[in-house]
Structure 1
Amino acid sequence: MATVRDYPKLGRDIIDLVGGEKNIDQATRCATRLRLVLSSTPPNAKARIAALPGVITVVESGGQFQVVIGTHVGEVYDAVAQELKLENRADAGAGPKLSIVSRVIATMSAVFAPFVYILAAAGLLQGALIVISMVWPGFTETGSDEVFSFMSWTPFTFLPILIAITASQYFKTNMLVAVLCCAAIMNPTWNEMAARISSGETITLFGMALSPTTYTSSVLPPLFLVWLLSYLERFLNKHLTGVGRSILVPLICLVLLVPLTLLSIGPVTSATAMGIATGYNWLSADLPILAGALIGGFWQLAVVFGIHWGITPVVLANFEQYQSDSFQAFQTAAVIAQVGAVAGVFFKTRNRELKRVAGSAAIPGLFGITEPAIYGVTLRLKKPFLLACVAGAAGAIVIALFGSRYYAYAGLPGPLTIVNAYQPGTTSLLGEIIGCLVAFFGAMVLVIVFGFKDPVIELDAEIHEPGTPLSSAVLTREAYTEMVAAAGSRTSIASPVTGKVVPMSEVPDPVFSTGAMGAGVAIAPTDSRIYAPFDGTVVVVMPSKHALGLISDDGVELLIHVGIDTVKLNGEHFTVHTHTNAKVKKGDLLLEFDHEGISRAGYSLLTPVIVTNSQDFDDVLPYPRTEVTHGEELATAVKATVSIAE
């Protein structure tokens, strides 16, 4: 398949469709989503952006306009960040006031999401060490195990530094000052002092006794420190002038915020995180079945609404305090259940396109990324999503009955992290495996038995590569109807030939597949006649007879190109029934061709139908179908009531 990875263009398209950079107050990202805070949401922006090649879907939740992109979200975010330059804008943040819950969700996702793959990589390394120790018990006594072990724990040990980097970007404060302050509270000398305090020694600062709290692997203390730093730094930059400001600002921030953190912020926030973790652990210990059912059954709903990052401090607090955690053990069952539901759809559906989408969506699920599975398949079909939630709850209940826990952190819990439940002398890993098998096969069997409404058309769930022509994107009929209805004006383009509809990106000619000629749709003909797709005028008949150019009465310029490289036939096997400047009505016979003769000559009959003046329209929308008869609607060129620029 020919594709163009034009992520900057996708980023610019998203900015335009949400109302331009002045309508964007904040832009952040997580593992799969571009998260925007808008001053206001333009009409139809959600449907328009969801139709862009490279976008899976759009979710509005937690005060955020979330564009689900998938594994290429980093490239799109980089393009958006470069385009917006929000840190230099005085009006940034002038949008509507968000609720406290929305602000917490936005902060958690912005701070933790950028380095989640770092934590996931370290978690996989820990899992690999567990597998090696299971096969070769003596490995744990080697220097190799020691080296790779401390490597795997490095991002967790220095977690406050990672938080300092991402939080400073989110709160728009000096990154180096943030790192300085967070590194100070992690200083080994402070850890030694804290150990002395724990042993009964009293150490005071400004006459106040210090708490023995340490900050390696901590979450909330560095987060609150950087949040306060953003206010203090802005205040100092506003009131200090001259060359001394460059030295005085970091000095004052250091001498004020580090002592404040050691005296109050650190102990209070650490106690808060531990308190929340203790509350969850009480539920998990005293009512494990309920805890498993809730997390296994409802975790993916948190993913749908983009609020799943809020649990990260609790999980990390568990690993810091107890070196294990049950939440991620339950969470894995929920993830695997969605993969199982997708497998059920794959085996159940008779729709070849849906089968292909399901197969593709299952692969990211192996790495703990379920957005393609959810938005592409299970939530789209509704029933499989609900059945997966039931199976996830059942699997997590089994895990709870075995008392299984994770003993190594998993950045993205999923099939590859099951081994993190291994602990010598326990049934933790056995319970995790059985529970996950229940979740996977339970979801798959439930979907196969209870079924779903098998679509007769292609879904809009495919993750299209940015840069492919818009007409290669696949829409549901509902979305197509909604977008057409919202248009200020439209021109319907009927299919000029009977055959199978093929995305333009699959045409084996880069002139067509890259969209250089314009947006459109290709057809693999099963007939040998080309008919007029609308009322209009024939503007050109190629001397080789293989291609026609037309213009509709309301200005759509269309190229019908029969076959690939068929210009080399010099008109052989083609019979033209019209001429340049001829007025035609929809359905008039324009051209006939010898289907078998062209195929025998070794040429593809794949026929691109292209709107060559696509730039004059806001969208060229393909009608959602896999096969078409001549005269049926193939696509629509639309213009909005209000232009995108407005």
Structure 2
Amino acid sequence: MKYTNDAKQIISLVGGNDNINTLIHCMTRLRFTLKDESKAKTSEIEKLDVTIKVMKAQGQYQIVIGNKVTDVYDSIIDLLPRLAAEDQGSKEETNKTETAEEKPQGFIATFKHGYDEFIGVLTASMMPIIGVLAGSGITKGILAGLVSANLLSDKSGIYLLINTMADTIFYFLPVILGFTAAKKLGSDPIALAVIGAFLIHPNIIGIAANKVPEVSLWGDFAVKIMNYSGSVFPIIVAAWLGKYVEKYLKKAIPEMIQGIFVPIIEIIILSFALLLVVAPIITVLSKGLANGISGLLAFNGIIGGAIYGAFYPILVVFGLHWPLIPIVINDLAVNGQSVICALTSITAVGIAGAVLAVAVKTKKKKFEALGYSAGVSALCGISEPSLYGILLKYKKVFYMTMIGNALGGAVAGGMHLVIYGFTGSLIGFPSFINPKAGIDSNFTAYVVSHLVAFVAVFVLTYLFGYSDKMVSSDQEV
């Protein structure tokens, strides 16, 4: 089996077969009861690639594995079949105890627990596609570089086809996330994928592009439609609601017709829930944030730049950054330049600094590979692999990124940085060259602000934001 070697090492390091009384597992942990816990070599167990952390609680020696826990458990059972003959009641009792132990108390604790659960689902849903996201981002960056160097026309057939291939993962993100999030949360993956497809159906996209993007349902009651292509938050909410809707429907609908009616009714209910509840909330929050950001930047460039640089990644996570795009497009069309887009460029470069620092510092090959690929993608302007692959999983890395990006944003605001095109980050440097005056103080501001963000985030992350010892459950967001 895939984890046979890991299983052998774990058995040996907990003191061998003779030292193990029982073994059960929950959602993320192997739970041993050992005859003598002093024989377990905790520090060596924590160095294993498959191990996140070791904990001791409730008379158990617990090894935190994460999503692979079932596979590792099965590999151990293959080696030690006697452990499979445990009383099922002990498993249930352990899970009940764990639930009671981890149940949050109070509003703040409950809110934090809910937020942590949401981020956990979000990152787990994104992880299967991080590699494709990173590769697509790098591809788009290479294409942009070739176009900037006049080596390839953005009107050519080869550009059109390859750029479309690279765009596909982003465009169909709601479909893919619907499937992966549903698997994570226990709802119907196919039904959620269909809901994701509904959100980006040409009819929906077409309505969203109208001057009045709304559909009348009955009388004067109309629902506003937004462009969901590339969105993350709505479909995650749908996947979370899905498990409750399915549970209710399976109780209400006779078993013989559940296969036909449960999925379609679930699709209808959740789709309307997104359109009538989730979308309006996102729209109101997004527009408020967009107006607030524009006003803050106009009031004080340094403070506005710092705040925008620090918090923009959070807007991306919750899908609240989309209303900024019309502002950017309008600025470029009317004024020929944009401040908001320039600051967004800085955040991508800062994020690249964070994940590249992780790649340089880590001794874990999977993080090294992810860090380098996600870093290159961010330098090409695509930061999602970095956000969902590393930053959201490790809160200190995220905090260091916020600090470094705030510094870069403040410098950009103080130097009045603008962008003259839509493509930023490292690969989009030509967009910062003044089309009338050529290389001037604005390009200097581009170099300085982006360098400040990159270096600050890299150094802060390397020194304070990440170490391989942090790869544990209590260090993850």
1:199 shift after superposition = 4.7
The one of 139, 149, 153 aligned to 2:153 = 139
1:340 shift after superposition = 7.6
The one of 146, 150, 154 aligned to 2:164 = 150
1:233 shift after superposition = 0.4
Confirm or deny: 8 A CA contact 2:10 2:45 kept in the other structure. no
Note the 1:65-464 alignment, pairs <5 A. Answer: 79-82=68-71, 94=99, 96-98=102-104, 99-112=110-123, 113-114=126-127, 115-136=129-150, 139-195=153-209, 198-199=211-212, 203-205=216-218, 208-276=221-289, 279-280=292-293, 282-283=295-296, 286-290=299-303, 292-293=305-306, 311-314=316-319, 317=322, 321=326, 322=328, 324=341, 326-327=343-344, 329-330=346-347, 332-333=349-350, 335-336=352-353, 366-368=372-374, 394-400=407-413, 401-403=415-417, 407=422, 418-420=426-428, 423=431, 426=434, 431-438=445-452
Confirm or deny: 8 A CA contact 1:194 1:212 kept in the other structure. yes
Deviation per residue, 1:148-193 (Å, 9 max, x gap): 2222222222121122122212321010011112212322123334
1:255 shift after superposition = 2.7
The one of 47, 51, 61 aligned to 1:52 = 47
Confirm or deny: 8 A CA contact 1:157 1:217 kept in the other structure. yes
How many residue pairs match? The answer is 383
Say if 1:325 and 1:117 are closer, same or farther in 2 by CA, change over 3 A. farther
- Structure 1 distance, partners of 2:359, 2:117, is 29
Confirm or deny: 8 A CA contact 1:55 1:463 kept in the other structure. no
The residue type equivalent to 1:190 in the other structure is I
Deviation per residue, 1:355-394 (Å, 9 max, x gap): x979x998865445699999xxxx99xxxx99x9987654
The residue type equivalent to 2:272 in the other structure is P
1:280 shift after superposition = 4.9
**DSSP-derived class of the 1:217 partner:** coil
Say if 1:11 and 1:256 are closer, same or farther in 2 by CA, change over 3 A. farther
Confirm or deny: 8 A CA contact 2:418 2:432 kept in the other structure. no
1:253 shift after superposition = 1.0
Confirm or deny: 8 A CA contact 1:336 1:436 kept in the other structure. no
Deviation per residue, 1:435-476 (Å, 9 max, x gap): 3434566789999xxxx9xxxxxxx95999xxxxxxxxxxxx
1:291 shift after superposition = 5.0
Higher strand share: 1
The residue type equivalent to 1:111 in the other structure is L
Of 45-54 and 105-114, more deviation after overlay is shown by: 45-54
Confirm or deny: 8 A CA contact 1:203 1:210 kept in the other structure. yes
2:335 matched residue in structure 1: none
- Structure 1 distance, partners of 2:458, 2:264, is 59
**What is the identity percentage for the equivalent residue pairs of Structure 1 and Structure 2?**
17
Confirm or deny: 8 A CA contact 1:159 1:219 kept in the other structure. yes
- Structure 2 distance, partners of 1:193, 1:171, is 31
**DSSP-derived class of the 1:215 partner:** coil
TM-score (norm 1): 0.46
- Structure 1 distance, partners of 2:215, 2:54, is 52
Q: Which runs of 5+ in 2 are unaligned?
A: 15-20, 32-36, 56-62, 75-90, 105-109, 330-340, 376-385, 472-477
- Structure 1 distance, partners of 2:4, 2:186, is 25
- Structure 1 distance, partners of 2:282, 2:460, is 44
Confirm or deny: 8 A CA contact 1:336 1:365 kept in the other structure. no
2:6 matched residue in structure 1: 9
Whose radius of gyration is greater, 1 or 2?
Answer: 1
The residue type equivalent to 1:148 in the other structure is I
The residue type equivalent to 2:69 in the other structure is V
Q: Which runs of 5+ in 1 are unaligned?
A: 28-35, 61-66, 69-75, 303-307, 344-353, 410-416, 453-459, 465-646
Say if 1:260 and 1:367 are closer, same or farther in 2 by CA, change over 3 A. closer
Higher helix share: 2
Confirm or deny: 8 A CA contact 2:192 2:239 kept in the other structure. yes
TM-score (norm 2): 0.60
Confirm or deny: 8 A CA contact 2:358 2:368 kept in the other structure. no
- Structure 2 distance, partners of 1:149, 1:170, is 31
**DSSP-derived class of the 1:139 partner:** coil
1:337 shift after superposition = 7.2
Confirm or deny: 8 A CA contact 1:12 1:80 kept in the other structure. no
Note the 1:493-572 alignment, pairs <5 A. Answer: none
- Structure 2 distance, partners of 1:295, 1:267, is 23
Confirm or deny: 8 A CA contact 2:174 2:196 kept in the other structure. yes
1:21 shift after superposition = 8.2
The residue type equivalent to 1:110 in the other structure is V
